[in-house]
Every structure is written in C-alpha cells, then in structure tokens.
C-alpha cells in the first residue's frame, strides 16, 4: 500500500504545482467506453477487454493538454483453455497521467496521446503493474472523442496488452 500512497501523493503534488504556476488552464472531463482485443500471449487466455474511464484534461494551450485518467478495465477469460479449466477474468483500476498534443491549432481534430501510470489489480493476488498507453484519436468540437490505443501492463517481466477503441464524450468544467 505504500507504493499506492506515494504514487497518488505524487500525482496530486504534480497537479497542484501545475495550477500554482499561474497557468490559466481550462479543465475538461471526458467519460469513455473502451473495447479491446488482447495482444500476443494474452490472446491465448483472454477473449476481450472492456472498460470505462474518466479523464480530467487540463489544457495548457489549445494544442497541449495534461490528461489524468482512471477507470476500470477487465480482461474476459476464455473457457476451456486447458482441458476443462476456465481462465478467470482479470480486472484492474488504471491511474495514468500524460500529454495530449493536437496536430491542429484549433484544439480539436487529430491528436496524439501518451500516458504512464499504475494499474491496481482487483483480481485476487494480481498486485500493481506499470501501465503505459500511446494513442491516436480524433476529437470533435461538440465533445465527441474517438481514439485507438495500445495499453500495456508490465509486472515481473510479464506484459499484458490490448489494442482498444475508445469512444468518449467530453465537456468543460
């Protein structure tokens, strides 16, 4: 639990520092649904990844934002993988922060996103993993956001990944 506390304290301190620098940032909240296909070894034991997320986005300028994302994702285990053994689902809560860059000066349209953080496993004995997530997406000025991301979880030399489609709606706070 010490690692969790340190990570969350660091994230809160970074956000507080960001606002204390006097940057007049606009804040947005996005709510999204993610559906993904497990990659590599994960595809042997998991059939699908589904999740929901909430993303706070602090706009530094029209083209650069600092997103902080959390939610819940579960990898759905396949049945009868080894004889009559069913693979249990694997669920986790991601806590990520990163940088979002719009390729258009308007602050909407095509963007690139990179996030890093921690994934807190909720499945018995799963622990905490390092999580990373590069993405490309398109954001419309009406709040609709469509993105394609890779999300990888790494722990003890083991990686679990997915390629996911994110459909979200964002609004100003």
Mean per-residue pLDDT of the chain: 86
**Residue 66: enclosing H or E segment and its boundaries?**
strand 64-77
Please give the Cα distance from 10 to 8 (Å, whole number). Answer: 5
In the chain, what's the furthest Cα-to-Cα distance? 61
pLDDT exceeds cutoff 90 at 31: yes
pTM of the model: 0.82
Structure tokens at 30: 């996005």
Helical H runs in the chain? 2-20, 42-45
User: 13 has which bridge partners?
Assistant: none
- Give the CATH fold of the 24-172 domain: Porin (2.40.160)
Strands 158-172 and 26-38: antiparallel
At 66-83, the pLDDT tens digits run 999 999 999 998 876 556
Structure tokens at 62: 């029209």
Q: Give 112's contacts (C-beta < 8 A, 6+ positions apart).
A: 100, 101, 103, 134, 135, 136
Give domain limits for the chain. 24-172
At 103-142, the pLDDT tens digits run 998 888 999 999 999 999 998 888 999 999 999 999 998 9
Q: What angle do CA 93, 61, 9 make, to 5 degrees?
A: 35
Q: Are the C-beta atoms of 83 and 117 separated by less than 8 Å?
A: no
At 147-168, the pLDDT tens digits run 999 999 998 888 899 999 999 9
Please give the Cα distance from 134 to 116 (Å, whole number). Answer: 9
């Amino acid at each position: 639990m010490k690692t969790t506390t340190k990570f969350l304290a660091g994230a809160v301190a970074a956000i507080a520092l960001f606002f204390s620098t006097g940057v007049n940032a606009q804040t947005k909240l996005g709510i999204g649904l993610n559906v993904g296909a497990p990659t590599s070894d994960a595809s042997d034991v998991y059939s699908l990844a589904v999740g929901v997320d909430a993303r706070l986005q602090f706009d530094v300028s029209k083209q650069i934002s600092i997103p902080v994302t959390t939610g819940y994702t579960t990898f759905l285990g396949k049945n009868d993988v080894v004889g009559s053994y069913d693979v249990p689902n694997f669920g986790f809560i991601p806590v990520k922060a990163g940088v979002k860059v719009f390729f258009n000066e308007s602050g909407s349209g095509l963007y690139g996103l990179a996030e890093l953080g921690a994934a807190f496993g909720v499945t018995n004995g799963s622990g905490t993993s390092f999580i990373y997530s590069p993405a490309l997406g398109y954001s419309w000025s009406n709040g609709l956001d469509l993105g394609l991301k890779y999300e990888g979880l790494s722990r003890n030399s083991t990686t679990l990944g997915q390629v996911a489609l994110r459909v979200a709606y964002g609004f100003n706070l």
